[in-house]
Amino acid sequence: MSEPVKNPVLSSLLKKYNETSTENREEKQNSIDAVAKEFVENAQLLLPVRIDEKYIEKTGANSAVIKKDGKFDVIVLTAGNSAKFYPLFTDWQEIGKCPEDMKKNIQTFVVSFDDLWALLQNIDAGAVINPFSDNVGFNKETLRHFHELKEIKTSGHTEHTVEKDTPVKLGDPAVDPKPLKDALRRTAENYPEIKNMWIKLMIKEDEKSWLLIVDHKGSKAPLFEALGKAAGPHLTDGMYIDMISYSDSFGKKAAEGNPFYVKQKKGLFF
């Protein structure tokens, strides 16, 4: 890095959060919400790792890259309840507050929230910001929620895997969401890869959303992006839309009844 990592906005918000009395619940909640928003949308934080020197190639006085096939270990902190957290730091001054044994032979990655979420896919861990001063942590499920909210904000939909044993209720809505369906139909007509679509009301852990099951060919990414944008203006009452491919095992189970969209035949072939 040619410039030292600094996060003045996040640092200021963390200070305000820690100085706010727990008795003032509303202000405390607003304060942590502001911390989360800055963390998810703008922050570039330092993540300490350990890398074998043989895999490091210097590219400047304060920068380096990992050689091809290089391996690294992210440092993990364990809380008193055995929960695991990736430590994140707003600047080098905060890194300096680490215990001496932790500071030995560490390097740092500069990571965004999206980078962090990618790293957490294969580990059951949360993240803690400035663990040796501000000590503001978020568990894995909270980070997942942040990730989904960010997806909804940027693309109009989110996509996630329903974990085994998670209670999920599916059904048909009491009031037919016709404007939403019509918008999805119009979009699907522009994508011949889409064959059928079903829409269900989904209740997962007391949270309501629409579940759109899409029977399609090829990559889902461009299809889901287009469908999410079409759905956005028609999502009311704080609802959002989850999407899943029919080819997914959960998608097949969820797709009960007749699809609301069926691709029309054109000639002898689809």
The 10s digit of each residue's pLDDT in 120-145 is 988 889 999 999 999 999 998 888 87
Q: What is the pLDDT of residue 69?
A: 62
Residue 268 CA to residue 270 CA, distance in Å, equals 7
pLDDT (mean) for 189-200? 94
- State the pLDDT at residue 221: 84
End residue of a domain, out of 153, 172, 197 = 153
Residue 95 lies in a domain: yes
Do residue 43 and residue 130 come from a single domain? yes
Q: Give the CATH number for residue 192.
A: 3.30.460
Provide the pLDDT confidence category of residue 165 given band limits of 50, 70 and 90. low
Angle between helices 178-188 and 221-231 (to 10 degrees): 140
Q: Give the pLDDT mean for 223-227.
A: 88
What does the pLDDT average to over 4-16?
Answer: 94
**pLDDT value, residue 89:** 97
Asked if residue 1 is part of any domain, the answer here is: no
- Report yes or no on 212 lying in a domain: yes
Point out which residues pair with 211 in neighbouring strands.
Answer: 200, 242
The DSSP bridge partners found for residue 244 are 213
Q: What are phi and psi of 187, to 5 degrees?
A: -70, -45
Is a pLDDT exceeding 80 seen at residue 63?
no
Residue range 84-112, pLDDT digits in tens? 999 999 999 999 999 998 888 788 889 99
Q: What whole-number percentage of the chain has pLDDT above 70?
A: 83
Domain boundary among 153, 168, 197: 153
Specify whether 58 is located in the same domain as 146: yes
Clarify whether residues 142 and 34 are in a common domain. Answer: yes
Which residue(s) pair with 66 in the sheet? Answer: 56
Among candidate residues 83, 104, 103, 105, the one with its CA nearest the CA of residue 95: 103
My answer on whether 202 and 238 are in the same domain is: yes
If one counts the domains in the chain, the total is 2
Q: How many CA atoms lie within 13 A of 195 on its CB side?
A: 9
Query: What would the pLDDT profile of 243-265 be if each residue is shown by its tens digit?
Result: 999 998 888 988 988 999 998 76
Structural domain harbouring 192: 157-262
pLDDT of residue 237: 73
For residues 68-106, one letter each, b for 16 or more C-beta atoms within 10 angstroms of the residue's C-beta and e for the rest, the string is eeeeeebeebeeeeeebbbbbbbbeebbeebeeebeeee
Q: Is residue 230 part of a domain?
A: yes
Structural domain contains residue 270: no
φ, ψ for residue 120, nearest 5 deg: -85, 0
Query: Which pTM was predicted?
Result: 0.61
Q: What is the mean pLDDT of the chain?
A: 84
Amino acid at 226: A
**Same-domain check for residues 121 and 100:** yes
